Structure 1
Amino acid sequence: MHVPDGFINAPVSAAAGVVAAGAVAVGLRGARKELDERTAPLAGLVAAFIFAVQMLNFPVAAGTSGHLLGGALAAILVGPYTGVLCIAVVLLMQGVLFADGGLTALGVNITVMGLVTVVVAYALFRGLVLVLPRTRRSVTVASFVAALVSVPAAATAFTVIYGLGGTTDVPLGKVLTAMVGVHVLIGIGEAVITMLTVGAVVAVRPDLVYGARGLTTPLKLRVDGELVDATPTARPVARPAGAPVPGAARSPKKLWIGGVVTALVLAGFVSFYASASPDGLEKVAADQGIDSEVRPHAAADSPLADYGVKDVSNARLSGGLAGVIGVGATLAVGTGAFWVVRRRRTAAEAA
């Protein structure tokens, strides 16, 4: 759903840019509370992983494909404030390096794909977690529903923005029907990817999933007819030499390495087999005539434009190299940004 230059007029694009800048500013402030020394490196990984999975367009209807938006996934894994920043980093890298999503439309894209998806998905996710049993399965079920709803919500948000500043004269009702219709189907794919990813991480490291914090409740004992928190025994327990202490914080290094390798494989190899059909927005724009005023991308001559390396004739190699470069660049920029946010939190706590 990357909006190109020319779909939305300059005043509304500028207004969306102000909204997006405000969302990023709030995200930077809120992320200080969400990130700690273990989760800050994972936030960069989440951004890189979303970049990789967005290269995997999947078919949803005849001549139409879809791809992950990632707002729900990011919010559940690393928190809503950090989630907005993750999507903003991904969209920035895609627009600047790969000519994907207009530069003048960057504010529109961050608002639609980042802010709307994160707010809708996380609000719904938290509501479901509160009413469902406190189990890991409830987290995955809630992530499925939240991701599913977030995609047509983003499509509706785009339609509202188009109604305010669209550069073509297409009836708003037709745009809304077409956008929501196809993005409900895309939302199913988004929900499956989000549920599987969240479920995989929760299965091995639930302590690193922001949306699963507080999942386990303290052990209760009934004393004189009342339930009280059980206190751990003070008696030392014999453990083999070098064995981890129960309850001690474990390093996320293995998860981080596994995630990076997975992202590189997806972007560098699996992406070659992605659907070549236009995505939901591109299909609707072509069918409804929304794209009649589209302008060439300012970075169209980038060496990595259209997810290929310039002057590399082999399509498989060109796309694979572009994907690997994109994952590496997104990981570096995202990790650096979140490291700075974490350092500011540490400095504020020390003050």
Structure 2
Amino acid sequence: MHVPDGFLDAPTSVATGVVAVVGVGLALRGARRELDERTAPMAGLVSAFVFATQMINFPVGAGTSGHLLGGVLAAVLVGPWTAVLCISTVLLVQCLLFADGGITALGTNITLMALVGVGVGWLVFLLLRAVLPNRLTLVAPAAALAALISVPVAALAFTGLYAIGGEAPIPLGSLATAMVGWHSLIGVGEAFITGLVVSTVLAVRPDLVYGARPAMETRTLELRHPSGSAA
């Protein structure tokens, strides 16, 4: 989903740049409440993993590309604010060192993948966590479904930006069909990878999974006060 230079007009690029700066600034403050001796090392590993998976690109059309986003995976493992920082750092490195996404479009890419991708995915995960039983076994499926939804939503957000300030010679309908269609398929892969990675970490070190902390607390209470035990 990396947007190249010149795909959106200057006012739209500047606007998304402002949104990205504000979003990252808020994430820097929010991450202070999330980062501790467990999540800090995990954040580095998550960034490296997302960086590797995002380097696998699928051409979509008119110079744009599709790939795994990794926002939900990062949010569930290290928290939403830290996830925004992880994805933003990955995008910055890819832009400056690998020319993956334009410099003038960096704010757009951060807005789409770090803010929309993480934000929508985390909200879906919270909703699922609220309606489903608070069990560790349901954390990975909830993360997978949230990842599945977040990818086409981010693609729709990009289509909305193109409708406002698109500069490329491609019809809006064709772009929307290509973006949402491809990213719905990519979302299936993202859901599989997210569910697999989260379930693997849960099996080994559930205490490292930020999104599993409520379920861990519930399990601890159940172990301390099993059903039917004397008060």
After the TM superposition, which residues 1-351 of structure 1 pair with which residues of structure 2 at under 5 Å, given as runs? Answer: 1-57=1-57, 66-216=66-216, 217=218, 218-219=221-222, 220=225, 222=228
Distance in structure 1 (CA, Å) of the matches to 2:213 and 2:3: 35
Residue type of the alignment partner of 2:45: L
Instruction: Name the CA shift for 1:147/1:17 in 2 (closer, same or farther; >3 Å).
Output: same
Residue type of the alignment partner of 2:74: A
- When structure 1 is superposed on structure 2, of 211-220 and 20-29 the one drifting more is 211-220
How far is the alpha carbon of 1:58 from its aligned partner? Answer: 7.2
How far is the alpha carbon of 1:144 from its aligned partner? Answer: 1.0
**1:341 alignment counterpart:** none
Residue type of the alignment partner of 1:27: A
Q: Which structure's residues are more often helix, by fraction?
A: 2
Distance in structure 2 (CA, Å) of the matches to 1:56 and 1:8: 23
Indicate the RMSD between aligned Cα atoms, in angstroms: 2.0
Distance in structure 1 (CA, Å) of the matches to 2:56 and 2:19: 29
Distance in structure 2 (CA, Å) of the matches to 1:141 and 1:148: 11
Residue type of the alignment partner of 1:4: P
Deviations 1:12-69 (A, max 9, x none): 1010000000110000000000111221121121111110122245799xxxx85311
Distance in structure 2 (CA, Å) of the matches to 1:184 and 1:178: 10
Distance in structure 2 (CA, Å) of the matches to 1:72 and 1:205: 19
How far is the alpha carbon of 1:135 from its aligned partner? Answer: 2.3
Identity of aligned residues (%): 62
Instruction: Name the CA shift for 1:67/1:150 in 2 (closer, same or farther; >3 Å).
Output: same
Distance in structure 2 (CA, Å) of the matches to 1:223 and 1:184: 48
Deviations 1:205-229 (A, max 9, x none): 11110100021320325577xxx5x
Structure 1, unaligned stretches of length 5 or more? 229-351
**1:258 alignment counterpart:** none
Instruction: Name the CA shift for 1:171/1:90 in 2 (closer, same or farther; >3 Å).
Output: same
Instruction: Name the CA shift for 1:56/1:173 in 2 (closer, same or farther; >3 Å).
Output: closer
Distance in structure 2 (CA, Å) of the matches to 1:58 and 1:205: 33
Larger-Rg structure: 1
The secondary structure found in structure 2 opposite 1:5 is coil
Distance in structure 2 (CA, Å) of the matches to 1:96 and 1:48: 16
Q: With a CA cutoff of 8 Å and minimum separation of 6, indicate the structure with the bigger relative contact order.
A: 1
Distance in structure 2 (CA, Å) of the matches to 1:178 and 1:68: 16
Distance in structure 1 (CA, Å) of the matches to 2:42 and 2:125: 21
Distance in structure 2 (CA, Å) of the matches to 1:159 and 1:81: 25
Distance in structure 2 (CA, Å) of the matches to 1:147 and 1:31: 21
Distance in structure 2 (CA, Å) of the matches to 1:13 and 1:57: 22
Distance in structure 2 (CA, Å) of the matches to 1:39 and 1:175: 38
Residue type of the alignment partner of 2:163: G
Residue type of the alignment partner of 1:108: T
Distance in structure 1 (CA, Å) of the matches to 2:59 and 2:139: 27
Deviations 1:104-128 (A, max 9, x none): 0000000011100111101111111
Contact preservation (8 Å) 2:72, 2:118: yes
**1:277 alignment counterpart:** none
Structure 2, unaligned stretches of length 5 or more? none
The secondary structure found in structure 2 opposite 1:182 is helix
* Paired positions, count: 222
Contact preservation (8 Å) 2:2, 2:66: no
TM-score by length of structure 1 reads: 0.60
How far is the alpha carbon of 1:196 from its aligned partner? Answer: 0.6
